[in-house]
Amino acid sequence: MQLGRPGIIAATAVEFGGELALFDTGAESNFENVASALRRIGFDVRDVRHVFLSHIHFDHAGAAWRFAVLGAKIYVHRRGAGHLIDPAKLVASATRIFGDNMETLWGRIAPVAEQSIRILEDMEIVRVGSSEVRALETPGHASHHHVYHWEDNVFGGDIAGVRLGKGPPIPPFVPPELHVESWHQSIARIRVLRPANLYLPHFGRVTDSIATHLDVLDERVHRWAEWFRDRLRHGDEEPQLIPAFAEYEAADLRAKGADDELVRDYECADPSYMAVAAALRYWRKYHPGEVSALGSK
């Protein structure tokens, strides 16, 4: 449940031979929902001994400190760890985006004790119960993003797309670390694992072809990035791009069968205005020549 809407933010619980792990926690405001969902399958929140974070955005890691307080080990990319230990900078930058809605959206934010954190490097393996969970560095959405691979399963984080209900997969473009080339490479890294199961934080297990899911996502990363490039070349700025992209994304979703309710769910999981700031920064930082050809204002 996020802002009263079901099916937006997921925490994925996996039992490894008696040991319980969570892949992402959801926001702190989702903690009680996760606790009651765990009770329904016969667990207590204290049974969560391992928390594997895809990245540190609040909808994925916001409740990590609650699990750390209860004794869980928190696994995270090196570049994310400092923000868990001292979330002040992250809070400041998120407050610039979300303003007064911070607490409503994400709940309480508190530091994670340093001794509860274990930094994982690319390809590093953690033994959990009877299994081995491997972290794969997968930047693009965030520079400090991991997907996790065990047996024939992948927990995909945000790099593997947002896909709600019967809608298509879309790439959550958010500032400040969007990097399109890395995104394509990260999708390729997931593809070669040929997983039988792919779990998404937004939302749940992919129930049809994972190869097709990844292809469709890959195409959208490319097409959406080019859409922004072309608009920037024509001199559009943020005020025009925000409503224009919201319309473009909604049309893209509707073309794949989404109704108004589902379009609103996508907007809740991945607000379209964030893609504008992300894409502007990406093009101007990494390819300034591509977006100034026709003379931007």
Q: How far is CA 297 from CA 280, 281, 291, in A?
A: 13, 15, 11
* Least distance between Zn ion and beta carbon 219 (Å): 21
Tokens of 59: 């909808």
Tokens of 51: 């928390």
Q: Which is nearer to Zn ion, 30 or 131 (CB)?
A: 30
Total residues at interface with Zn ion (CB under 5 A): 2
Q: Is the dihedral of CA 37, 41, 44, 49 positive or negative?
A: negative
Q: Does 158 bind Zn ion (CB under 5 A)?
A: yes
* Least distance between Zn ion and beta carbon 167 (Å): 18
* Least distance between Zn ion and beta carbon 253 (Å): 19
* Least distance between Zn ion and beta carbon 119 (Å): 19
Residues between 267 and 296 with contacts to Zn ion, criterion CB under 5 A:
none
Rounded distance, CA 279 to CA 284, Å? 8
Give 8's DSSP letter: S
* Least distance between Zn ion and beta carbon 289 (Å): 29
Tokens of 166: 């019967």
* Least distance between Zn ion and beta carbon 227 (Å): 21
Local structure of 70: helix, strand or coil? coil
Contact 178, 282 (CB under 8 A): yes
Q: Does 146 bind Zn ion (CB under 5 A)?
A: no
* Least distance between Zn ion and beta carbon 17 (Å): 30
Q: Which is nearer to Zn ion, 57 or 213 (CB)?
A: 57
Neighbour-count burial for 52-84, b at 16+ CB within 10 Å, e otherwise? bbbbbbbbbbbbbbbbbeeebbbbbbebbbbbb
Q: Which is nearer to Zn ion, 173 or 248 (CB)?
A: 173
Q: Does 177 bind Zn ion (CB under 5 A)?
A: no
17-25, 51-59, 177-185, 200-208 -> range binding Zn ion (CB under 5 A) = 51-59
Tokens of 206: 């992919």
Rounded distance, CA 72 to CA 60, Å? 16
49-57, 178-186, 225-233, 234-242 -> range binding Zn ion (CB under 5 A) = 49-57
Candidate list 49, 57, 179, 202; residue touching Zn ion; CB under 5 A: 57
15-23, 53-61, 69-77, 178-186 -> range binding Zn ion (CB under 5 A) = 53-61
Tokens of 233: 């070349």
Site string for Zn ion, 72-111 (x = CB under 5 A): ----------------------------------------
Which burial class, exposed, middle or buried, applies to 139 when counting CB atoms under 10 A from its CB (0-12, 13-18, 19+)?
A: buried
Rounded distance, CA 148 to CA 150, Å? 7
* Least distance between Zn ion and beta carbon 141 (Å): 6
Tokens of 84: 């868990």
114-122, 152-160, 259-267, 277-285 -> range binding Zn ion (CB under 5 A) = 152-160
Query: Measured at CB, which residue is nearest to Zn ion?
Result: 57
- Residues near Zn ion (CB under 5 A) are 57, 158
